[in-house]
Amino acid sequence: MSSDSLTTTGYIKHHLQNLAYGQHPDGTWGLAHSAAEAREMGFWAIHLDTMFWSVVLGALFLWLFGKAARKATADTPSGWLNFVEWVIDFIDDNVRGSFSGKNDLIAPLSLTLFVWILMMNLMDLVPVDWIPQIAHLMGIEYMKVVPTTDPNATFGMALGVFLLTLYYSIKVKGPMGFAAELTMQPFQATNPILKIILLPINFFLEFVSLVAKPISLSLRLFGNLFAGEMIFILIALLFSGGLAFAVVGGVLQLGWAIFHILIVLLQAFIFMTLTIVYLEMAHSHH
């Protein structure tokens, strides 16, 4: 969307607005045409652009890695196959270094999270006006192309990891073992009366720590990518200020894009690593 047709504030708000679909106050279903309409739709509104790009990038990941798997041979790999094997070896080394249990799900899960999040993060390097402008020509008013700048996407992935953590905590330790883990630490005592006194304190501290895991996991990814997207949008505003500002904007955009590559990679790696650590804790007996 060209900044010439919008004020500075309007341009920023437009680029930060998701394509929301939900129920209007009058009971009809449809797309939101403003941020106010999106808020009125409430919790059950669906961000179609986040869903679309998440599914497309996930399907692209499966196709690319599936293609490499079909071409795998015992000979020395080259090209794309060599890159895929390098990624798999990288993930395998991290899983072996951080996970001491035995679970065949951890490595595939880590690979999926790392590559999928990385691909979603890389969409942040696409110039902010390109895809929204194409969508506008197609009659689509809003189009955010970076799913990880939507807290719904990051919370969804973090919630999935959290549910897996709960499942394996109960499966490995048993219901009573998991309950004991929440109530018998960090403060311990041999006196039965003192144990009872410490039980609610321990539960409060451990419960807060448990719930904080998915919240911090999702907000860390969302916050870093949202901030990066905001900087790209602010830099894009310079291109409407004349030739001199456009040149400055081009230099800043290139510099920030190069630096942002590190953030894109690092945030995917951190999300994957913390997932491995949380599942390792779920498999560990105290």
So which residues are the catalytic ones? 216, 220, 224
125 CB contacts (<8 Å, ≥6 apart)? 257, 260, 261, 264
**CB neighbour burial string for 150-163, b if at least 16 within 10 angstroms, e if fewer:** bbbbbbebbeebbe
Closest CA to 216 of 149, 159, 281, 282: 159
